Amino acid sequence: MELLFVTDLLESFKTYKDSTFAMMREARRRGHTIHACEPRHMLWVRGGVVQAQVRSITLTGDATDWFVEAPSQTRFIKDFGAVVMRKDPPFDSEYFYATHLLEQAEREGAKVFNKPRALRDHPEKLAILEFPQFIGPTLVTRDAQAIKRFHTEHKDIILKPLDGMGGMGIFRVRDDGLNLGGIIETLNKDGAQTVMVQKFLPAIALGDKRVLVIGGKPVPFCLARIPQGGEVRGNLAVGGKGVAQPLSDSDRAIAESLGPILAARGLLLVGLDVIGDSLTEINVTSPTCFQEITDQTGFDVAAMFVDALEAAVF
């Protein structure tokens, strides 16, 4: 099968930890051919179909020069056996437009994972609102006074922008309320931007757990991203330590409840973020942690993903 990965620039990959690379490596091991493009390489013109300037690559096994490529070609996206959308966040306007081009490709016959409409319908911070039974106290608002009332009630809170990634723009305000006004001004921009506020969960000390769900089924191990050096954030991008561990009973209950629902909507791969027993985010754009889990536990996450991809296509 010919697979097209819609990705960031291939030369930017850190192959020792990149989940998209792990997918490519497993797919190639099974005999699938690997192609890649960036969203900027896609185009559509009236009377035609969605096409892209595509790089056809062969994996070398070298950690640095990890691929070689044939001369790029213009290909119709519908002609690939499957298209895997793996462009990293942020989910900005250009990402949004890319989902529309991919959805047009679907209408022309392409099989795209995760489904473009589902990517748009599940903003990663706000998707948890559909599942209040699994989340802690949470407020979504532009209203500065509502945020202050939430702090008065819960004393110790986390504030974050809805378009952040990798821990960007996350603030903790304790019961003394120090700098709450300034943080609200920074995130809220005088009522122009919506903010998510959540009660601080002390269980973050044990890790912000990434629970992967593939084809509606949980990977049996999660990666607990443990804050380091006085940080409140466990994100690997800001220095969190990743420790793989078996799913807890509550992790599994959340994943098994949400998994079939999200899979039925076209979300082949989902990354649930769980602190303690509480769901905090539903990541759908480009969930990671494949290699960290596999390296530490021996469970082949990429193989589970390609199994699910093949089952969805054939």
Among 125, 188, 199, 208, which one carries the catalytic annotation? 125
Active site residue 17: no
Among 18, 233, 251, 292, which one carries the catalytic annotation? 233
Which pLDDT score, from 0 to 100, does residue 312 have? 98
Q: In the predicted model, what is the mean pLDDT of the chain?
A: 96
pLDDT band at 224; cut points 50, 70, 90: very high
Active site residue 225: yes
Which pLDDT score, from 0 to 100, does residue 229 have? 77
> Does the pLDDT of residue 313 top 80, yes or no?
yes
Among 86, 160, 199, 209, which one carries the catalytic annotation? 160
pLDDT band at 181; cut points 50, 70, 90: very high
How far is the C-alpha of 274 from the C-alpha of 141, rounded, in Å?
22
* Whether 12 and 103 share a structural domain: yes
* Whether 13 and 109 share a structural domain: yes
| Mean pLDDT of the region 104-110 | 98
Which pLDDT score, from 0 to 100, does residue 78 have? 98
The answer to whether 142 touches 192, Cβ cutoff 8 Å, is yes
pLDDT band at 166; cut points 50, 70, 90: confident
Phi, psi at 79, each rounded to 5°: -85, -10
290 part of a folded domain: yes
DSSP symbol at 157: E
Active site residue 189: no
* Whether 152 and 186 share a structural domain: yes
CATH assignment of the domain containing 101: 3.40.50.20
User: In which domain, by residue range, is 150 found?
Assistant: 137-200
* Whether 35 and 61 share a structural domain: yes
Active site residue 149: no
266 Cβ contact partners less than 8 Å away, ≥ 6 residues apart: 113, 114, 115, 117, 118
Helices 144-154 and 180-188 cross at an angle (nearest 10°) of: 140
How far is the C-alpha of 140 from the C-alpha of 162, rounded, in Å?
9
Among 114, 148, 171, residue at a domain's last position: 114
* Whether 149 and 212 share a structural domain: no
Q: How many domains does the chain have?
A: 3
Active site residue 107: no
% of the chain beyond a pLDDT of 90: 91
Which pLDDT score, from 0 to 100, does residue 237 have? 75
Active site residue 46: no
189 part of a folded domain: yes
How far is the C-alpha of 89 from the C-alpha of 100, rounded, in Å?
16
* Whether 236 and 172 share a structural domain: no
> What Cα–Cα distance (Å) separates residue 170 from each residue in 22, 187, 211?
29, 9, 21
How is 268-295 classified by DSSP, letter by letter? Answer: SEEEEEEETTEEEEEE-SS---HHHHHH
Among 18, 124, 208, 281, which one carries the catalytic annotation? 281
> Does the pLDDT of residue 122 top 80, yes or no?
yes
Among 149, 182, 200, residue at a domain's last position: 200
Among 157, 184, 200, residue at a domain's last position: 200
CATH assignment of the domain containing 294: 3.30.470.20
Owner of token pair 């990434």: 210
* Whether 215 and 308 share a structural domain: yes
pLDDT band at 282; cut points 50, 70, 90: very high
The answer to whether 93 touches 294, Cβ cutoff 8 Å, is no
* Whether 100 and 40 share a structural domain: yes
119 part of a folded domain: no
pTM score of the predicted model: 0.95
